[in-house]
């Protein structure tokens, strides 16, 4: 999944303009080079001991760090009054919002 995200980011970063596409001057090798640059940077970020291998521990630490960041951001968005607690009302508001979005998604799928 992450490699697809990286590829999308690379595509956005160097996506051809409309005129490039019309003139067939878009160079796929530029896109591939940018994707590799992003992939290499991500690999180096995870490979903490720089042995050119990602150990299970390095990978797990990276995933847990990213999950922690996301869960902290989610907590902050639910804790509307910023008191570092999620009240029952805040939680219910969040659940109503989330289930409403899921409901909206399924309604769109039925069309």
pLDDT at position 5: 57
Q: What is the pLDDT of residues 32-83, one digit of tens each?
A: 888 899 999 999 999 999 999 999 999 999 999 999 999 999 999 999 999 9
What's the CA gap between 92 and 78, in Å, rounded? 10
Q: What is the pLDDT of residues 11-37, one digit of tens each?
A: 555 555 545 555 666 678 888 888 899
**DSSP summary character for residue 25:** -
pTM, to two decimals: 0.54
Q: Residue ranges per domain, the chain?
A: 1-46
């Amino acid at each position: 999944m992450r490699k697809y995200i990286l590829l999308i980011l690379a595509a956005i970063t160097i996506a051809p303009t409309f005129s490039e596409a019309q003139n067939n001057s878009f160079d796929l090798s530029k896109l591939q080079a940018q994707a590799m640059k992003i992939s290499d940077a991500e690999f180096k970020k995870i490979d903490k001991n720089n042995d050119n291998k990602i150990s299970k521990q390095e990978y797990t630490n990276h995933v847990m760090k990213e999950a922690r960041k996301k869960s902290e951001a989610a907590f902050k968005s639910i804790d509307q009054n910023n008191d570092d607690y999620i009240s029952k009302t805040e939680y219910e508001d969040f659940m109503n919002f989330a289930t409403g979005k899921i409901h909206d998604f399924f309604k769109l799928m039925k069309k």
